[in-house]
Structure 1
Amino acid sequence: MNTLLLHCRPGFESEVCAELSEHAALLNVAGYAKAKANSAHAEFICTEAGGADALMRGLRFSQLIFPRQWARGAFIDLPETDRISVLLEQLADAPVCGSLWLEVLDTNEGKELSNFCKKFEAPLRKALTKAGRLQDDPRKPRLLLTFKSGREVFLGLAEPNNSAQWPMGIPRLKFPREAPSRSTLKLEEAWHTFIPREQWETRLSDEMTGVDLGAAPGGWTYQLVRRGMLVTAIDNGPMADSLMDTGLVQHLMVDGFTWKPKQPVDWMVCDIVEKPARSAALLETWIGEGLCREAVVNLKLPMKQRYAEVRRLLQRLEDAFAARRIKVSIACKQLYHDREEVTCHLRRL
C-alpha cells in the first residue's frame, strides 16, 4: 500500500501533483506524482517501502490546499461477481479498521457509480464485520474504497483525524432558500472547514460584528446575519431587501479596497473578483493593522502556475506578519464550493 490517492476538483490535478511533490521532497520521501487532466484525482507513487505512510504521518491533511481527500493504498482489479471475497483477501494483512467509506471521483463517471456504491455498501460492511476486519472504533484507521468502476477500486487507509471530514471531501450542505445567492455556501463551508464545531458559539456569536467587502447581493452577508452579527456590507451594487429588513445590516456604497472601519470588527469576509495579489494585500492590511480578529477571503487564481502563486502569496503574508511581530494562524483550502479560487482563513492570535 505504497501509493497515495488524492481527490481534487476536476482540472486541478497538476496543482495536487505540484503540492505533493514539494511536500515529499521536504520530507525526503522518494516518489513521483502522476495524473490525467480532468480525472478529479492524482496519485503519488512512493518508490521506497513505507513512503506513503511516512507522507501521511509527516503532513496534516488540513494543511494541504488542493486535495479534497487522501488515502494510502493500491488499486486492485475486481471480478464481475464476488467482489467481496477479493476485497477480504486483499485486506487479510491490513489493520482492522474502525469505519468504512465508499467513495467515487468527482466526474460524470463517478456520479454514475454512486448507486452501485449505495447497493454494495451494506453487504460489504456486513462481510467485513463478520470477518473481524471492521469494528466501530473511531481510533482505528478508516477504510476508504474509491471506485473508478465496478471492476477497479483503490483500497486505501487514512486516519480519521488526518483526512477529510466528509466522504470525498464533499460537504452535503443545503442551500438556504432565503439566501440571495448560491455563493453563501462558500462561506458556510469555510466555517465547517476552518472552525471546529464546538467553537462556533464563541467565535461566531451574535455579540460580534462583521464586514463583508464586495457584499452584493449578500450571499456572504447572509451567513453573518444568520449567526446574529451586526454587519457592514460594502458594495456599490444593491443588497437583497430580505437582508436589509433584518435591521442587522448597514450598506455602504464605497470602495471595498480603500474603506476601513472606525472601530475594529470581529470578522472580515471578502469574495471580490480581483487579482489574488490585491486580495492578499487586503488581508495583510486588515489582519496586520488589527482591523479585524478573523478573516475569510477568496483568492481568485491565475490560469497557470496556480499552486506556485498561492504559495507565493501565503509566504508573503507570513513574512509581513513576522515583520510586524504579530502571530497569525493562516489556513488555505480549495473548498468544494470554490471554482477557480482558494479560500483563506486568518486569525490573529
Structure 2
Amino acid sequence: MSTDGLLAYCRPGFEPELAAELGERAAIAGCPGYARTQRNAGYVEFLGVEDGAALSRALPWSTLIFARQKLRLLADVAGMDPKDRITPIMEVLGGRGRYGDLMVEHPDSDEGKQLAALARSFGNALRPALRQRGLLTDKDDPRLPRLHVMMLAGDHALLASADAKDASPWPLGVPRLRAHADAPSRSALKLEEALMTLLTEKERAEFIKPGMFAADLGAAPGGWSWVLARMHVRVLAVDNGPMAQTAMDMPIIEHIRADGFRWQPPKPMDWLVCDMVESPRKVADRMATWFREGWCKHAIFNLKLPMKKRWDETRDCLQHFVDHAGRPLTLRAKQLYHDREEITVYAG
C-alpha cells in the first residue's frame, strides 16, 4: 500500500523518544502527523502528513537526535508471497523513477536480527531485477535517491527512499567500527563514532590538527584521551581515578588528578571532551561555562538521560546549554550506536 511520511530507525527501546521528537518538531514545522511504532521495534513511522517531501526537508537527518536514519516512506507492502517478493515491490516502484543505490535491511531489534540472512539474500535477488527494469543504476550514483527495503517479516516490507545528502550513509544508520586491542576502554568507539557522525570530513580536517590541545574531563580509564592522542592532539586527562597504562604510555597525554567539575584549564583549549557520569543538567551547565569563559573552541560531550521523559530532558538540557554558553554555537546531537542511555553532543 502506497503511503506518505517518514521512516526513521532508532536504538531499540527509544521509540517513544524518537516519536516524541518527530511529533513535536513536525508540528513546529507546520507538518503535523502521528507516529506509529512498538516498543523495542527499532523504528518509527511518521504518518498522516499532507506532504512527506516537505516534512522531510523540514526535518534534516543531521538535526534529528534519536534517529539513526531518516527516510521518506513510500509504501507498506504486506502479504507478499515468499516465492515471489519481487513482483509486488516492482508494482509499487513503477513510475517513481530510478534509484542510485539499494539497501535491503532489517530492524536492529532482537526479532529483526533474525531476518538478517533473508535481507541479504533478497537484496542479492532484488538488485539485478531492479537493474533489468531500469529502476536501479548499474553503478552506485549518489545523485539519485537511494532505495531502502526494510524487511519486517518474510511477507512484509517497508519501502522508503533516501537523499544521500540527507541520510546516514551506513546500513541501518550504524557505522562499522573495529575495537582496538590496546584501547583503554570500549568508550573509545563512542568518540570515534561521534567524530564520524557529528563532524563532516572537511570539519575533521580543519578542526583536529596535530599539536592542538584538548582537555578530557572524567577521563579515566582514558578511552577518549587515547583517541585524541592517536590524532596527535595533546591531552590533559582530568580525573581523580586511575588511567589505563596504554593511555599513560602515550607521552602527549598528561594525567591531572582533579574534579572535572571544578578544574579550570591553564590556558584556552582547542577541544573539550567529557563523558562524566552525572545529571545531564549539571553536565550541560558545566559545558556552557567552558564556552562562556572562552576555555575551549570545540567540545564533544555526553548527556546521561533519565529513565523517564527522556525527550523532554534532552530538549531542555540542550536549550539550557544554548542559553548559557554566552555566544552563538553550532550544535549537533545524536544518540549514537555506541551510546546507551545517553546522547552525544558536538558544540563549536
Question: How do residues 325-340 of structure 1 correspond to structure 2 at under 5 angstroms?
Answer: 326-340=327-341
1:239 equivalenced with 2:220 (yes/no): no
User: Residue 94 of structure 1: CA displacement?
Assistant: 1.6
Aligned to 1:343: 344
Query: Which digits, 9 at most, give the CA deviation of each residue in 1:102-125, with x for residues without a partner?
Result: 111111222121111222212211
Partner secondary structure for residue 119 of structure 2: helix
Within 1, Cα distance between the matches of 2:320 and 2:242?
Answer: 34
Within 2, Cα distance between the matches of 1:157 and 1:202?
Answer: 32
The one of 155, 158, 161 aligned to 2:159: 155
Query: Which digits, 9 at most, give the CA deviation of each residue in 1:225-259, with x for residues without a partner?
Result: 11011111111111111221221111111100000
Tell me which amino acid in the other structure corresponds to 2:328.
K
Aligned to 1:256: 260
Tell me which amino acid in the other structure corresponds to 1:331.
R
Within 1, Cα distance between the matches of 2:149 and 2:12?
Answer: 19
Structure 2 gap segments, 5+ residues each: none
Aligned to 1:58: 58
Partner secondary structure for residue 232 of structure 1: strand
Asked if the contact 2:285/2:324 (under 8 Å) is kept, the reply is: no
Partner secondary structure for residue 313 of structure 2: helix
Asked if the contact 1:5/1:73 (under 8 Å) is kept, the reply is: no
Within 2, Cα distance between the matches of 1:137 and 1:265?
Answer: 41
Partner secondary structure for residue 108 of structure 1: coil
The one of 113, 118, 121 aligned to 1:119: 121
Asked if the contact 1:29/1:46 (under 8 Å) is kept, the reply is: no
Tell me which amino acid in the other structure corresponds to 1:291.
W
1:68 equivalenced with 2:68 (yes/no): yes
RMSD across aligned positions (CA): 1.2
User: Residue 85 of structure 1: CA displacement?
Assistant: 1.7
Aligned to 2:84: 82
Aligned to 1:175: 179
The one of 215, 219, 227 aligned to 2:219: 215
Asked if the contact 2:35/2:47 (under 8 Å) is kept, the reply is: yes
User: Residue 47 of structure 1: CA displacement?
Assistant: 4.5
Within 2, Cα distance between the matches of 1:111 and 1:46?
Answer: 29
Partner secondary structure for residue 144 of structure 1: strand
Within 1, Cα distance between the matches of 2:314 and 2:132?
Answer: 47
Aligned to 1:166: 170
Q: After the TM superposition, which of the residue ranges 113-122 and 215-224 deviates more from structure 2?
A: 113-122
The one of 288, 309, 312 aligned to 1:308: 312
Aligned to 2:35: 33
Report sequence identity in percent.
Answer: 43
The one of 17, 20, 26 aligned to 2:19: 17
Aligned to 1:225: 229
Tell me which amino acid in the other structure corresponds to 2:334.
K
Asked if the contact 1:3/1:74 (under 8 Å) is kept, the reply is: no
What's the TM-score once normalised by structure 2's chain length?
0.95
Aligned to 2:191: 187
1:138 equivalenced with 2:139 (yes/no): no
Partner secondary structure for residue 88 of structure 1: helix
Number of corresponding residues: 342
Q: After the TM superposition, which of the residue ranges 25-34 and 249-258 deviates more from structure 2?
A: 25-34
Pick closer, same or farther for the CA change 1:245–1:30 going to 2, 3 Å.
Answer: closer
Within 2, Cα distance between the matches of 1:317 and 1:95?
Answer: 44
Partner secondary structure for residue 262 of structure 1: coil
Structure 1 gap segments, 5+ residues each: none
Tell me which amino acid in the other structure corresponds to 1:344.
V
User: Residue 327 of structure 1: CA displacement?
Assistant: 2.1
Aligned to 2:106: 104
Within 1, Cα distance between the matches of 2:204 and 2:58?
Answer: 29
Question: How do residues 261-276 of structure 1 correspond to structure 2 at under 5 angstroms?
Answer: 261-276=265-280
User: Residue 197 of structure 1: CA displacement?
Assistant: 1.8
User: Residue 70 of structure 1: CA displacement?
Assistant: 2.0
1:43 equivalenced with 2:45 (yes/no): yes
User: Residue 95 of structure 1: CA displacement?
Assistant: 2.3
Partner secondary structure for residue 97 of structure 2: coil
Within 1, Cα distance between the matches of 2:222 and 2:324?
Answer: 31
Q: After the TM superposition, which of the residue ranges 70-79 and 12-21 deviates more from structure 2?
A: 70-79
Partner secondary structure for residue 328 of structure 1: coil
Within 1, Cα distance between the matches of 2:152 and 2:65?
Answer: 23
